[in-house]
Structure 1
Amino acid sequence: MVWSWLSIDGVKMPLLRLIPCLACLALSLFWDILLPAAGHAHCQLTQQAALCTGFQLSSVPADLPKNINELQLNNNTISVLRNTCLSHYPHLQVLSCANCHLDTIESYTFHNAPNIENLNLAKNNIHTGYQQTSQALWHLSRLKVLDLSANGLTENMVAFLLRNMSSLERLSLSGNIMLRLDQAIFGALHRLEELNLERNGIYEIEDKAFNSLQSLQRLSLAFNNLPCLENFQLTQLLVLNASHNNLEWFISDQDMKEPFHLQTLDLRDNRLLFFPLLPTHSHVQTLLLSDNQIGFYQHLANISSLNWTTHVQFSNLTGNMSNVTVELWDETFHGDISSVELLDLTGNHVVHLPLGFLGKMRKLSRLKLGRNCLESLDLKELSASLYELDLSSNRLTTLSANQTTLNALAYLTHLNLSLNDLKTLPPKMFVSLSSLTTVDLSYNKVDICSSVELDSCIDNCDCIIWTDVRSLKQLYLRGCSLRQVPPSAFNGTPITHLELSDNPGIFLSQESLASLSGTLQQLGLGNTKTQAFDFTLFIHLRYLDLSRNSLSHLPGSIGVPHLRWLDLRDNSLTSIPFQQAETLSNSLQTLFLGGNPFNCCDMDWYRMLEEVNTVNIMDWPVTCLHVVHGTHRVDHLSGNLCRISDEEPSWWYVVLLLPVCLSFVGIIVIFTLTFRSSRVPKLINKRCLRHTSY
């Protein structure tokens, strides 16, 4: 046997004896490297943050780097935070344990992690051990952000948890079961700036419930059961969201001389009967009142037969009388609305606006009055700074405005008059609005003026002039019962989006839109009975709607523009020529094909569109029609369904020839029985009646 020798410190040793020692040394080094990594194999380390979300951890990892300042443990199964679980991470500032089935936080859990500033405990079961959790939170003297949403907490539990949380700046209690708010709950939160109380079922707020929150700037009470907000006194508040409640009244304290700093008031989706009573000195800029029951009723107070009261006194739920007494129909009693920039009254019961109401809002830039019952509107009162006006879905029949009024609206860019009963408008109304970019007149009865009518229309008439509207980019004339688009109707108007759908039978020639050849990018011709239109000139066209037109074939020029979006739904197309589909596939990104009787045996064009992998067919799966087998999904088509004749199976020929053969046999039998009936008995006797040996 040959030995190898290794000299260590002058001592010769056989190399074979050293192999176990070397193996142990290598294993030890490997284990020292591997063990820390294996301990947090599910955590991703990014700078000083450990992301351990969604790996079914049952406890806090103990072998993460000690210098981390953020630990994300969301979506695990950590039911208890032990006293020592954070002792390894003294620099921790952010801890998130949302949706961890957490029900207990031991009293000294945060004793060794006092620097935590942001703590997320949302979607857990803190209500089961809230006393211990409260004791644990006492150690977080630097805590600024706390999320306790969706933990099954009542108002008494919350008051217990927040006893020593004077450092908090942001607090979320959404999704709990708080029903009534009083002063005891938030008494210690002097630094709180943002409070979220959404989705709790709150039905009452005591007058002094928020008195201690002197730094509060953002308050959300959305999705609760509040019947009213009375005696509003939070002067320092900037944003109040009380949407999606049952509010019938909003009344601020009119006796306060201190100005309110409120900028955004959100009262959407409530039951407000009257315009909110804003503070006397207000800075409200955004006033959201959509989907209520607001109306203005002063004209009804003059009808003696109704015998309605003209004054009302407000009281709270405990029966204590309020000192607010107002004249119910006084439409000037709205508080200070001079700073309002956005007013959204969409979806209310407004029949008319009080005289001088809009005139008070000199900074108004956006006015939304859609889905009301307006029968008239005086444009003279509109603010000169207005750039968006929505009057859609009302009962307007006429809209009158003189040249001075139109010139004053120099900043108006968006005008929506759709879904009214408009029949007459000032014919040069849109020419006079120098900044107008978007007009929606859909579902009205206003026609387009021809060149002959341009001179005859001086005052209100039943057609509109669209020439030389230099700023207009988007024009929507859907469902206007248009008879035709006159030649040169849009001369001098750089329209990029033109919607003419739902005008069945409209006469549309290439000359009608020729002036838009250099600008038009989107064209809607759905349900216009268009069969043939030359798209050759419109080289910038990118979006085209040809749906609901009973098209049996596509226009030959449809491939000239580099279309990106094409709607061919609900036509009579049985196929698309392969070459035409190939041309479209070079630029097309979105395609609608549903509702066409495509031939199942002529779908090569469709398979090509699928293979190019650049065209997104939105109404997949597309169906096709087979003469024998009926309707099929294209993706389920079988190769046997459309075989050509020389590949048909032999049994098909047997089925076809069998009736012919049977017919010949029947003819022979009848012929024999008819003309040679005498020989049949002899033939039977000869063949069948033979002698036997018995």
Structure 2
Amino acid sequence: MPIHGLPTTLLCLALWPLWSLLMPALCHPDHSPCRLTQKTALCSDSELSSVPEGLPDNIEDLHLNHNHIQTLQDDSLSRYISLRTLSCADNRLETVGSKLFHNSPHLESLNLAANKLHVGYQQTSLALLTLSRLRVLDLSENQLTDNMASVLLQNMTSLEYLNLSRNLLLRLDESSFGDLHQLRELDLQRNMLFEIDASFDHLHKLQRLNLAFNYLPCLVDFHMTQLVVLNASHNSIEWFIANQDRQEVFKLETLDLTDNNLLFFPFLPTHSRLRNLHLSQNRVSFYEHLADTAAYPNWTTSVQFYNLRGNMSNVTAKLWDESLHGDISSLDLLDLSGNQVGYFPQGFISKMPSLARLRMRTNCLEVLNLTLEKLPGLLYELDVSNNMLTELHADQSSLRKLGNLSYLNLSQNDLQSLPAQLFSSLTSISSVDISYNRVGICPLEEGGVGMGGGGGKQSACVVWRNITSLRHLHLSGCNLGRLPSSAFVGTPLTHLELSNNPELIIGTRSIVGLSRTLHHLGLGNTGTRDFNFSPFHHLRSLNISRNSLTQLPASLLHLELRLLDLRDNRLTTVPSAQANVLAPKLHTLFLNGNTFNCCQLDCGVSSECLAGSAGSQSGRPCGAVECRTTVA
């Protein structure tokens, strides 16, 4: 159609000069590798080999992570005088130009992690010398040795956070961090450190020190009173000895000595604020019984430490002296899991009146006497699972004092009796696990009166009725038979685990009342066949694995399940009608270990067979292939 009397072809010819000028701007825009957000340039993962040009002069944060930059030239940042943060982690960076930061007077944070700075560390050190305001420096994973790190850190007087993790540091001395007077946090984890001789003495502002995953053999004469957090886990530490002569209060709040070679409880400061003490996975035991010279006439009652630094030639410590443990009065958490503790020294527990969490799993405890130990009233969590407990004693007075106890784990011991009213006497108890002990459930007619209800007498069964605070109960592997009538009446459980009781018989009134509260029910390996799940409208998670089921219980279709575990049964198919009802509700479904062919199911469930080298075969059972099942 003609426009203003001109044919279309003539109009196009007339507009062509203007169109040719506009085309480069409209059809061939300049695609920047960076995304700009206010004053931040995000240029990571862009396959860059240098700092991109054309960025706004006023950017304050520049992120160049995960690129291919090998060298930062002297003029790379010359335009960006407002730069405060530069992150160039995980490149191929070998050298930083000595004049790179001459126009970066405001730079406060520099991340050069995961590069190859060991190649040109001397030139890089000249560049770092010009950063008078740098507060945060990350040099982790750069294959740096002790000497290289010392050179790079010269005159870094403003630095507050330093990360040297994942390098090749072997030993540190007083010259290693000589200029870092403002340092507050130092990360040295995952090096090869075996010696740290006076290397932190002048770091008077250091509050957080991470020495994890090194090869330190001991920490003696510990005197860093200003330190708040010390992580020395995963080393080879046999002794931790704080300076006992210091009268100042140590500010240390968290001490992590997990996974070392400790034989003795650490020699802690005489005055401290310690709240969290992590000692799991060591070889700690108590040796107070060896002080009995009548029973052990050939044993010495002290140990000598030689060649400690300073003017001391040796120190003699009595291993069972009450002062051995130092000040533990403010402890909130004590984790001694995975050690060799067979008993608590007399008065040991009472020295921790603020203790809220005591973790003692996987030790050698044979008897636990809650009356004699005088556990603190603030105790919230007690875990003594996987010990050798055959006896647990408690009277009503001691149980009343444990009004704050919410979590109790007694699983994997050898208990065959308990005070019958033990748990109903704990007014705040919320979660109990006594799995893999041989303790039954008291029937209604044996309410615990005369069987330990009023005192510390032992009973072969426990009362689980009318415990209004209890929500989680784990009774796996307790050799349970027929559940008593109204076994949990008045106890609003949301999680009940009864798996691995192959002789279990659940009567129609055994778990009456739980239909209004129960969210998870574990019945794996219990011989369950035709249990009616219909009343349990609030059930969201159900485990009925290892029960030789040949078909799905029809009552499952009435539930709003999110997780269903059907592993290791004898199912040959899942009918389409059932699958269509369950599929829209389920988030997770476990089907492995059944005898149907996962790859040929036509049931509204999508199954992907992950066969071995032979591939999937028609008729091949799920036990022969790994079946990844998702709800369609």
Q: TM over 0.5: same fold?
A: yes
Q: SS where residue 353 of structure 2 aligns?
A: coil
Alignment partner, residue 153 of structure 2:
162
What does the per-residue CA deviation read over 1:550-570, in whole Å, with 9 as the maximum and x for residues that have no partner?
111222212122111111111
In the alignment, which of 70, 74, 78 is matched to residue 83 of structure 1?
74
How far apart in 1 are the matches of 2:85 and 2:600?
62
Q: CA 1:15–1:502 in 2, change beyond 3 Å: closer, same or farther?
A: closer
Q: CA 1:584–1:395 in 2, change beyond 3 Å: closer, same or farther?
A: same
Q: CA 1:195–1:570 in 2, change beyond 3 Å: closer, same or farther?
A: same
Alignment partner, residue 348 of structure 2:
357
Q: CA deviation at 1:244?
A: 0.3
Q: CA deviation at 1:134?
A: 1.0
How far apart in 2 are the matches of 1:236 and 1:57?
44
Contact 1:348 1:371 in 2 (8 A): yes
How far apart in 1 are the matches of 2:21 and 2:586?
65
Greater RCO (CA < 8 Å, at least 6 residues apart): 2
Q: CA deviation at 1:536?
A: 1.7
2:137 corresponds to 1:146: yes
Alignment partner, residue 457 of structure 1:
451
Q: What are the equivalent positions in structure 2 for 1:10-49 lying under 5 Å apart?
A: 22=18, 26=22, 34=29, 37-38=30-31, 41-49=32-40
How far apart in 2 are the matches of 1:629 and 1:373?
52
- Kindly name which structure, 1 or 2, has the bigger radius of gyration based on alpha carbons: 1
2:273 corresponds to 1:283: yes
2:178 corresponds to 1:187: yes
Higher helix share: 1
In the alignment, which of 244, 247, 252 is matched to residue 254 of structure 1?
244
Alignment partner, residue 54 of structure 1:
45
| Greater CA drift, 448-457 or 487-496 | 448-457
Q: What are the equivalent positions in structure 2 for 1:523-602 lying under 5 Å apart?
A: 523-598=521-596
Aligned length: 605
Q: CA deviation at 1:635?
A: 14
Q: CA 1:406–1:620 in 2, change beyond 3 Å: closer, same or farther?
A: farther
How far apart in 2 are the matches of 1:403 and 1:316?
52
What does the per-residue CA deviation read over 1:491-523, in whole Å, with 9 as the maximum and x for residues that have no partner?
111011111100001111121011212111111
Q: CA 1:75–1:599 in 2, change beyond 3 Å: closer, same or farther?
A: closer
Q: Percent identity?
A: 53
2:429 corresponds to 1:429: no
TM-score, normalised with respect to structure 2: 0.91
How far apart in 2 are the matches of 1:16 and 1:247?
84
What does the per-residue CA deviation read over 1:7-32, in whole Å, with 9 as the maximum and x for residues that have no partner?
xxxxxxx999997864675468779x
In the alignment, which of 430, 434, 441 is matched to residue 441 of structure 1?
434
Alignment partner, residue 222 of structure 2:
232
Q: What are the equivalent positions in structure 2 for 1:46-445 lying under 5 Å apart?
A: 46-206=37-197, 208-302=198-292, 307-316=298-307, 321=312, 324-330=315-321, 332-380=323-371, 381-445=374-438
In the alignment, which of 602, 606, 609 is matched to residue 605 of structure 2?
609
What does the per-residue CA deviation read over 1:72-98, in whole Å, with 9 as the maximum and x for residues that have no partner?
111111111111110111111110111
Q: CA deviation at 1:541?
A: 1.1
Contact 1:294 1:350 in 2 (8 A): yes
Q: CA deviation at 1:576?
A: 2.6
How far apart in 1 are the matches of 2:195 and 2:599?
68
How far apart in 1 are the matches of 2:395 and 2:42?
65
Q: CA 1:44–1:204 in 2, change beyond 3 Å: closer, same or farther?
A: same
2:465 corresponds to 1:476: no
Alignment partner, residue 628 of structure 2:
none
Contact 1:621 1:635 in 2 (8 A): no
Q: CA deviation at 1:573?
A: 1.3
How far apart in 2 are the matches of 1:591 and 1:17?
67
Q: CA 1:456–1:402 in 2, change beyond 3 Å: closer, same or farther?
A: closer
How far apart in 1 are the matches of 2:330 and 2:564?
45
Letter in 2 for 1:44: R
Contact 2:598 2:609 in 1 (8 A): no
2:487 corresponds to 1:489: yes
Q: CA 1:84–1:629 in 2, change beyond 3 Å: closer, same or farther?
A: closer
Q: SS where residue 89 of structure 1 aligns?
A: coil
TM-score, normalised with respect to structure 1: 0.83
Contact 2:597 2:622 in 1 (8 A): no
What does the per-residue CA deviation read over 1:345-398, in whole Å, with 9 as the maximum and x for residues that have no partner?
000000001011010000000000000000112313211000100000001111
How far apart in 1 are the matches of 2:202 and 2:569?
66
Structure 2 unaligned spans of 5+: 5-9, 626-632
Q: CA deviation at 1:44?
A: 1.0
Q: CA deviation at 1:589?
A: 1.6
Q: CA deviation at 1:457?
A: 2.1
How far apart in 1 are the matches of 2:598 and 2:177?
70
What does the per-residue CA deviation read over 1:587-632, in whole Å, with 9 as the maximum and x for residues that have no partner?
2221111111126898332xx133xxxxxx7x96599xxxx96416
What does the per-residue CA deviation read over 1:463-496, in whole Å, with 9 as the maximum and x for residues that have no partner?
0001111110110000000112101111111011
Q: CA 1:107–1:484 in 2, change beyond 3 Å: closer, same or farther?
A: same
Contact 1:353 1:377 in 2 (8 A): no
Q: CA deviation at 1:300?
A: 2.2
| Greater CA drift, 258-267 or 296-305 | 296-305
Alignment partner, residue 512 of structure 2:
514
What does the per-residue CA deviation read over 1:16-73, in whole Å, with 9 as the maximum and x for residues that have no partner?
9997864675468779x94xx44xx211111111111122211111211111111111
Contact 1:552 1:574 in 2 (8 A): yes
* RMSD over aligned Cα atoms: 2.6
Q: CA 1:475–1:17 in 2, change beyond 3 Å: closer, same or farther?
A: closer
Q: CA 1:271–1:508 in 2, change beyond 3 Å: closer, same or farther?
A: same
Letter in 2 for 1:218: R
Q: SS where residue 231 of structure 1 aligns?
A: strand
